[in-house]
Amino acid sequence: MKTRTLGYLILSMVLTFLAACQSIPNDRREAVDPVSLRVSAQRAYQSGDFISAESMLRRNLSIHQRDADSWFLLANIHLRSGQYAAAQHAYQQAALYKPEQAAIWHNLALVHIRLATQTLLQGMRHQDDDFEPLIGWLLEVQGVAMQ
């Protein structure tokens, strides 16, 4: 009998806890100011703390998916860290919400150039000098000397 009563007590506590979690208003998520969070992320980015900046931007974008400026800054972080596919996605998101911003298109083009260079460098491992003129030109466009 004690075991059954204890079981009911535990079950009722668990159900009460779950009901309480469900009834917490979602206003706290919406209370995050996208501008102040993005400004904090920009400060972290400018000081070289890309991990904190990325974390803040992801938090902001989980609530405010249409924040083109946050997408743009996140894309810059990915570009600087060599994560070109992630940068491409983030720039495309930024362009979707703010197509008039020329810097988005400029940086997206840069990502495509870097992806092309990376692809040819990988292919060069399996080919002789066939890719060298094109790789040389792509590196020149990016301001990098071929060695």
- Torsion angles phi and psi, residue 24, rounded to 5: -70, 125
CATH number of 34-141: 1.25.40.10
Low-confidence ranges of the chain (pLDDT < 70): 1-32, 128-129, 144-147
List the Cα angle 122/132/113 in 5-degree steps: 60
Res 114: pLDDT: 92
Can you give the residue ranges of every domain in the chain?
Answer: 34-141
